Chain A
Amino acid sequence: DAMVIQNPRYQVTQFGKPVTLSCSQTLNHNVMYWYQQKSSQAPKLLFHYYDKDFNNEADTPDNFQSRRPNTSFCFLDIRSPGLGDAAMYLCATSRGVEGPGEKLFFGSGTQLSVL
């Protein structure tokens, strides 16, 4: 089945230790997104790619970086995780051709803990 896959499901890192979260998709969608979601809060868009075009949200901290080496894969790098970065990180995709009503397809998320 075509899908969005995130690894790992749970990630534990130490304060200040760099961590990379992975996302892959078999949907061949043009757009890939990274969201941060804390408990009982709205998902917060960090950045998205339309193909190779990178779009950073204005309030995304510099501590967060992203790479999209090809259509299928996208990575989220947190250079120096702080306690406030503990959250669920959601990867999502969309086709990028259907306009405002285009739905997002989410991966199962990576729950990041920072010790």
Chain B
Amino acid sequence: GQNIDQPTEMTATEGAIVQINCTYQTSGFNGLFWYQQHAGEAPTFLSYNVLDGLEEKGRFSSFLSRSKGYSYLLLKELQMKDSASYLCAEVDSNYQLIWGAGTKLIIKP
């Protein structure tokens, strides 16, 4: 999506920490989703942020700064199964989802 910007690909090591960034347009903002999508499979919900700050769910955390139009997904203690694409999606003023193209995360042993 033209309003969402996230890196195309990232590489990290098993057991490490990785941060995937996402920037979006700030007008008419109604929240931001992160979804995980394994190759050839459907996206699955990870998180939804609408207020500033960090929300933690086990090994995964999501952060939002509304003033900066910025979010990140933080993955700790990386496992091989975390190799997937991570899609950022903004909820706009019409409650429509504006999707990013996703960040392909490659985990190496």
Complex: A99 Cα to B31 Cα, angstroms: 10
**Which A residues are in CB contact (< 8 Å) with B105?**
none
Who on chain B is nearest to A33 by CB?
A: B97
Who on chain B is nearest to A105 by CB?
A: B45
A45-B97 contact in complex given A40-B104, A101-B50, C-beta closer than 8 Å:
yes
Interface residues on B, range: 20 to 34
Prevailing SS type, chain A contact patch: mixed
In whole Å, how far is B98's beta carbon from the nearest beta carbon of chain A? Answer: 8
In whole Å, how far is B39's beta carbon from the nearest beta carbon of chain A? Answer: 10
In whole Å, how far is B51's beta carbon from the nearest beta carbon of chain A? Answer: 11
Which 4 A-B pairs have CB atoms at the shortest separation, nearest pair first?
A106-B42, A42-B99, A100-B30, A103-B45
Q: Which residues of A contact B (CB under 8 A)?
A: 4, 40-45, 88, 90, 92, 99-101, 103-109, 111
